[in-house]
Amino acid sequence: MSKSLSPDAIEALRRLNDVGVGQAPPPLSSAVAAELMQAGLAGESGDGAVEITCDGRKYLSGDCD
């Protein structure tokens, strides 16, 4: 069963997925970041940036339980 996300959260997840290695992730509103982290689709790095998780990539690929 896939998690229900707001359209803003889905767009933010797509933008996070496009970040390359060594690139800074895009800034997210605190509400969108909290929604993604609560769903387990993103996490906070050591420097406070929000990064996509493996579950976030699976969500975008449609490979969700």
Q: Which residues of the chain have pLDDT under 50?
A: 1
- pLDDT confidence of residue 20: 80
57 exposed, middle or buried (CB, 10 Å; 0-12, 13-18, 19+)? Answer: middle
pLDDT, residue 1, reads: 40
| Res 62: pLDDT | 79
- List alpha helices for 18-65, DSSP H: 30-38, 54-61
Q: How much is the pLDDT for 64?
A: 53
Output the pTM of the full model: 0.84
For helices 54-61 and 7-17, angle between their N-to-C axes, nearest 10 degrees: 110
Q: What is the pLDDT of residue 9?
A: 95
